[in-house]
Structure 1
């Protein structure tokens, strides 16, 4: 019987894995250089962690289960809630701000399609304990730096939910949530229908549609004409000036809603070139979640990067390490192993594991496109040297082990 991989999952072959690890390491290094520390949370959590954050409706999208102790658990569908839970459990007494990052797999039970899988990887950052403009600016600039380091080109769009929430302040909270979700999905016909259904005033409808369709670098005066000079806009302008100092290129878009109630102020999204309809590769903003999980009223800012989408368009390839095959006959095989141990401190080395003859070992070296072959034979051992063959040029030399190490590493 043949057992196939589950629907919505993937196997990564050696070349794919090497490329993913390479890009992952670049992004990790960027985060570390900005002063962020990596954390790891459990692959599964209590189901309540996610229903508290997103409501009972999310259960249909989860890989949830009842464990043998009767506890309701789920594989994590995202990582912001686990990080907030970790903060409440472990980090509340640590100096602020806390600057954390993670790279983990997540699971969602949804229909697989291009760019969307049931198991997917997310790279994310959370800055906890500061709601200042400098914090918002740093998080956006870090996202921009990470994507650029991965060779991904995209459009960064920034908005501020305080504006639209001010406009909707006269509506019931559940109606506001529905409006925000429709705005997030850009379902303008559905939005118009909802506003008609609740009997919204014409001025509100006019202002709302005007606001969510505003887009450009210099649209703040237009926004202020709609809602006035809000205190949140003063702070937002400081964030934008800091982004100018960082050299970040962006567009303002007050139609960004993120569709989640916990976002409180600044929000941003990045849309990459070359991905078609599913082109959003990064999203984030400032939010309040910690109080929901039993902590204090602590401001946070963060983002998540869809790593799988990044890999669809990332042009980077890892530098190929030099590969060496060490060839020997049976009577000197033990000596060959000792040489391989020394060479492996400097370069990847293959030795024969199949009891192949001398000619077959050479053929294997050709098959795997080895850069070098080192021959260990009786004559070489008597001379205290080894034969190094360059498999590209065909040249070969009799060298000491130290000379070979210097040449191939």
Structure 2
């Protein structure tokens, strides 16, 4: 019987895990620089947490099961709903705004394809209780800051405001459910089906033309005046456009101006209420979106008070894919800095003792455990990336000395046993 990993999952070996950890830690550092604190939620939750947010239809797309007590549970398909739940359970009385970030795996039962897996990772944040558009400006600037630190090139941040489109639809008495259908088609980019639906709803011809024109508009701050002229007869839409204009001004203050205004962003989820944004990287094919977010009102849907929240999540696996395609250098640390090996089997216990002393001094150290001959041990140490090999021979040890071999230059020297730790620390800390 051949054992295989489940469909839609992956194994990550040593080098890839080091690369993923480096990217994860880079993002963590940026989040914490902005005052966000990490939280962790369960991998499985009550099924109702996700059906309440997304409807019963989501059951077909997620891993759900009953436990031995007959409770309906589900592996989390995303992390925003668990964050809303933890806020309702633990944080309603906490001082606001609340800034939190998370990193974890999610699960969706869908057809695996390039850039889309059944187990995947998200790294994101939520800002609960902040004011719009201040919170949105910081969130967008922070997302860009993460990608700058990772040296990812050619990413595009597209942003819009759902209130512009909803303002037009509401003025024409389009129901909330019908608006959600329209937004879902805009999110998919299905213009033909959108035209058909707008016709079926008997939307006024003028409003229909305005909507179709808006969802195709792209530009920078310069398109704001054009949009104002187009929607001048829709006061609610104009108010949302003014929010978007203020957001763009704030982004300038945050030192970020490399964005695209895209009024065709809908996000496809009915709990988004205002600003929305998505980040794309060309070269990833159909899965070019590496992040998405915006302002939402999920907590009220779950029965809490109305509290404005803004957040986003990186599709961590897609970020890794983009870095790989661009061949962006991730400086992966060596496996160890020092490899300790006895020259003869009689020195084995001394090797263990010396290796352990180096480890307790904070030096990453491996030690020969297989009993290889010296030539093969040196080859193994070199392949492991060790900078130095400490050789322990009987004659040198009698003189209270050890041999340090520099694996890059090939030079080696005998040093007093009591100075080995300090010499290695100095060379490791000062060596490029």
Q: Name the CA distance, whole Å, in 2 between partners of 1:98 and 1:408.
A: 41
Shift of the 316–295 alpha-carbon distance from structure 1 to 2, 3 Å rule, reads farther
Moved more, 119-128 or 361-370: 361-370
Identify unmatched segments of 5+ residues in structure 2: none
Q: Is the CA contact 1:166–1:227 (under 8 Å) kept in the aligned structure 2?
A: no
Give deviations 1:312-333, integer Å, cap 9, x for gaps: 1221313433532211122222
Q: Name the CA distance, whole Å, in 1 between partners of 2:206 and 2:381.
A: 76
* Equivalence for 1:222: 226
Match of 1:291 among 300, 303, 310: 300
Question: Residue 244 in 1 paired to residue 252 in 2?
Answer: yes
* Equivalence for 1:114: 114
Mapping 1:146-295, distance limit 5 Å:
146-153=146-153, 154-169=155-170, 170-217=173-220, 218-228=222-232, 230-248=238-256, 249-295=258-304
Q: Is the CA contact 2:19–2:332 (under 8 Å) kept in the aligned structure 1?
A: no
* Equivalence for 1:59: 59
Give deviations 1:1-51, integer Å, cap 9, x for gaps: 221000100000100000000011000000000000010000000000000
Q: Name the CA distance, whole Å, in 1 between partners of 2:209 and 2:414.
A: 83
Q: Name the CA distance, whole Å, in 1 between partners of 2:216 and 2:201.
A: 22
Helix, strand or coil for the counterpart of 1:207? helix
Question: Residue 318 in 1 paired to residue 331 in 2?
Answer: yes
Q: Name the CA distance, whole Å, in 2 between partners of 1:303 and 1:369.
A: 38
Match of 1:391 among 407, 413, 416: 407
* Equivalence for 1:105: 105
Query: How far has the Cα of 1:152 moved from its partner?
Result: 2.0
Query: How far has the Cα of 1:232 moved from its partner?
Result: 2.8
Query: How far has the Cα of 1:213 moved from its partner?
Result: 1.1
Question: Residue 88 in 1 paired to residue 88 in 2?
Answer: yes
Q: Is the CA contact 1:150–1:316 (under 8 Å) kept in the aligned structure 2?
A: no
Helix, strand or coil for the counterpart of 1:237? helix
Match of 2:387 among 355, 368, 371: 371
Moved more, 72-81 or 311-320: 311-320
Moved more, 306-315 or 322-331: 322-331
* Equivalence for 2:425: 405
Match of 1:332 among 338, 341, 347: 347
Q: Name the CA distance, whole Å, in 1 between partners of 2:412 and 2:285.
A: 51
Q: Name the CA distance, whole Å, in 2 between partners of 1:363 and 1:146.
A: 38
Q: Name the CA distance, whole Å, in 1 between partners of 2:254 and 2:19.
A: 29
Q: Name the CA distance, whole Å, in 2 between partners of 1:220 and 1:26.
A: 35
Aligned residues: 409
Give deviations 1:104-154, integer Å, cap 9, x for gaps: 100000000101100001011100012322111111111111122122231
Q: Is the CA contact 1:181–1:259 (under 8 Å) kept in the aligned structure 2?
A: yes
Q: Name the CA distance, whole Å, in 1 between partners of 2:239 and 2:379.
A: 73
* Equivalence for 1:39: 39
Identify unmatched segments of 5+ residues in structure 1: none
Q: Name the CA distance, whole Å, in 2 between partners of 1:332 and 1:266.
A: 67
Query: How far has the Cα of 1:203 moved from its partner?
Result: 1.1
Query: How far has the Cα of 1:366 moved from its partner?
Result: 4.0
Give deviations 1:92-115, integer Å, cap 9, x for gaps: 111100011111100000000101
Shift of the 297–367 alpha-carbon distance from structure 1 to 2, 3 Å rule, reads closer
Q: Name the CA distance, whole Å, in 1 between partners of 2:293 and 2:384.
A: 44
